[in-house]
A and B are shown apart, each in its own frame.
Chain A
Amino acid sequence: MKYIREFRDGNLAQKLAKAIRQEADPDRRYHLMEFCGGHTHAIFRYGVQDLVPENVEYVHGPGCPVCVLPVRRLDDAVELALTQNVILTTYGDMMRVPGTKQKSLIRAKAEGADIRMVYSTQDALKIARENPDRQVVFFAIGFETTTPPTAVAILQARAEGLRNFSVFCNHVLTPPAIAHIVNAPSEPGEDPVRIDGFLGPSHVSSVIGWASYEPAARDFRKPVVIAGFEPLDVMQSTLMLIRQINEGRHVVENQYTRVVTKEGNRKAQALAAEVLELRKVFEWRGLGYVPDSALRIREAFAEFDAEKRFALSPKESREVKSCECPAILRGVKKPTECKLFGTVCTPDNPMGACMVSSEGACAAYWTYGRKREAVLAAKGAAA
């Protein structure tokens, strides 16, 4: 696996670890928010935390589109599937996310809804072509990375005259979310989020370009390093952030140069812009209503907009009350500080989205990081 395996090399990791230890000032702490769930996943799956000094702390951010989708939108999708007799297609990630009263798509499927998991929007189009007498809705989620494929599907549906295909659009944007986190006043009783720098989105940046984060770095005086998702990328980016913090700099640096450029993928941007436009405001789970932070389908493509094609009922959507997903998504709390974590809420019975997605901070803590003492003790026993 060229360009994958090299970036997981254990020997290089030890060397980078040494460099990080040398450059990290032992008299201070480094709070680094990894924006993306991809980083969270890499940190836990490969055990990156074991290789950095104790005073370098990763704060998990909201970069998991499954986690930030508000319950109401999920409830809408469940309603579409259960009451409108559509074929609802979506990515596998969405299947287990609990909605109001723990109703997930997988449960709706068990109740008879026709819900099909797809790998690509191309598969959703294929299902629409094969079922001309059924309405096929693609439940679209994701950040700027996943947005252009949705736009391409809509353009293709129009070109082919596919009248039975539409998209329930829930695409959100990362730069407004970063600004929102840094700006957000803490809630009563909460300590403010302490962030010294950001590991910036990698694959999102391959589409929108690293320059998109320059305003955030400049205005909030926080260093941002665009970081790849392989564990060595995370470590090198950590080193780059530590250097910026030590030197008092706050610019956008690009560690992930093999894929990310300053301006990104212009063609993908243009395709997305042709079909989608900014929403004035959109609700993020954990962050609340964030202005200019999401996309909707342009009027010119209204016939492919599931929100316009189907009448969705207003609902009283509710999250589980004591679920701390919102605070965890803002980086204010750790999963272990949630009362439900590991007791009521486990991956088998998730109460909140952070426990569902393998990129969610709670699931990552549970699956990979739980009981680190036990891990270390076992290692000691083995050695």
Chain B
Amino acid sequence: MCLAIPARVVSIDDDAMATVALEGIRKPVSTALLDEVAVGDYVLVHVGYALHKLSEEEAERTLRLMAEAGVLAEELEEMAGEGAEAGA
């Protein structure tokens, strides 16, 4: 449920509105639900409203965690492979 997409704020407009961009698409959205918003912020857009700001740091951290889980898995697999060879 709840289709929401991160988009970049490109301008702050009148009446609690802002314009967001996703690739070349520009769409006016309401910022009535946010305390503050600035040009350059990434916000989560749902039914024409900016719902929440996206934390760029956290996004990077999540991607890093995913990559690390993968590296760990690969190391474990290698160790298991070596163990099997040693056992044989």
Q: Are A and B direct contacts in the complex by CB distance below 8 Å?
A: yes
User: Which A positions have Cβ atoms within 8 angstroms of B?
Assistant: 1-4, 6-7, 12, 14-16, 18-19, 21-22, 36-38, 63-65, 91, 119-123, 142-143, 145-146, 148-149, 152, 201-204, 206-207, 229, 232-233, 236, 239, 255, 257-260, 265, 267-268, 271, 359
Residues of B within 8 A of A123 (CB): 48
Residues of A within 8 A of B35 (CB): 267
Return the CB mask of B1-45 against A: 1 if under 8 Å, else 0: 111111010000000000000110000001011110000001010
Interface contact A22-B51, CB-CB below 8 Å: no
- 17 residue pairs of the A-B complex, CB under 8 angstroms, read A1-B22, A12-B63, A16-B70, A18-B70, A19-B72, A91-B47, A120-B49, A145-B1, A149-B30, A201-B1, A203-B1, A206-B4, A236-B65, A257-B62, A258-B58, A259-B52, A260-B52
Q: How far is the CA of A122 from the CA of B34 in the complex (A)?
A: 16
The 4 closest A-B pairs by CB, nearest first: A15-B70, A120-B48, A19-B73, A203-B2
Return the CB mask of B44-60 against A: 1 if under 8 Å, else 0: 10111101101110110
User: Which B positions have Cβ atoms within 8 angstroms of A?
Assistant: 1-6, 8, 22-23, 30, 32-35, 42, 44, 46-49, 51-52, 54-56, 58-59, 61-63, 65-67, 69-74, 76-77
If over half of B's interface residues share one DSSP class (helix, strand or loop), that class is named, otherwise mixed; here it is: mixed
Interface contact A152-B33, CB-CB below 8 Å: yes
Residue in B1, B33, B42, B67 whose CB lies within 8 Å of A36: B1
Interface contact B44-A63, CB-CB below 8 Å: no
Q: Can you name the residue of chain B whose Cβ is closest to the Cβ of A271?
A: B33
Interface contact B2-A36, CB-CB below 8 Å: yes
Tell me which of B2, B58, B59, B71 has the highest count of chain A C-beta atoms within 10 A of its own C-beta: B2
Residue in B34, B55, B61, B76 whose CB lies within 8 Å of A267: B34
Q: Can you name the residue of chain B whose Cβ is closest to the Cβ of A155?
A: B32
Residues of B within 8 A of A152 (CB): 30, 32-33, 49
Interface contact B4-A203, CB-CB below 8 Å: yes
Residues of A within 8 A of B2 (CB): 36, 38, 142-143, 145-146, 201-204
Tell me which of A119, A239, A257 has the highest count of chain B C-beta atoms within 10 A of its own C-beta: A257
Known contacts A149-B47, A258-B62; 19 further A-B pairs (Cβ under 8 A): A2-B42, A3-B56, A12-B67, A15-B71, A37-B1, A120-B30, A142-B2, A146-B46, A206-B4, A206-B44, A229-B4, A236-B65, A257-B58, A258-B54, A259-B6, A265-B33, A268-B33, A268-B51, A271-B32
Residue in A15, A18, A37, A149 whose CB lies within 8 Å of B49: A149
Q: Can you name the residue of chain A whose Cβ is closest to the Cβ of B6?
A: A3
If the complex has contacts A142-B1, A257-B61, are A236 and B48 also in contact, measured as CB distance less than 8 A? no
Residue in B42, B52, B67 whose CB lies within 8 Å of A15: B67
Interface contact B73-A18, CB-CB below 8 Å: yes
Residues of B within 8 A of A4 (CB): 5-6
Residues of B within 8 A of A12 (CB): 63, 66-67, 70
Residues of B within 8 A of A21 (CB): 73
Q: Can you name the residue of chain B whose Cβ is closest to the Cβ of A256?
A: B62
Q: Can you name the residue of chain A whose Cβ is closest to the Cβ of B45?
A: A120
Q: How far is the CA of A22 from the CA of B79 in the complex (A)?
A: 12
Q: How far is the CA of A187 from the CA of B77 in the complex (A)?
A: 45
Residues of A within 8 A of B69 (CB): 15-16, 19, 236, 239
Q: How far is the CA of A111 from the CA of B53 in the complex (A)?
A: 43
Q: Can you name the residue of chain A whose Cβ is closest to the Cβ of B29?
A: A120
Interface contact B62-A236, CB-CB below 8 Å: yes
Residue in B8, B47, B63, B65 whose CB lies within 8 Å of A120: B47
- Min CB distance A360 to B, Å, is 11
Residues of A within 8 A of B66 (CB): 12, 15-16, 232, 236
Interface contact A257-B44, CB-CB below 8 Å: no
Interface contact A65-B48, CB-CB below 8 Å: no
Residues of A within 8 A of B51 (CB): 145, 148, 203, 206-207, 265, 268
Residue in A3, A120, A202, A206 whose CB lies within 8 Å of B59: A3
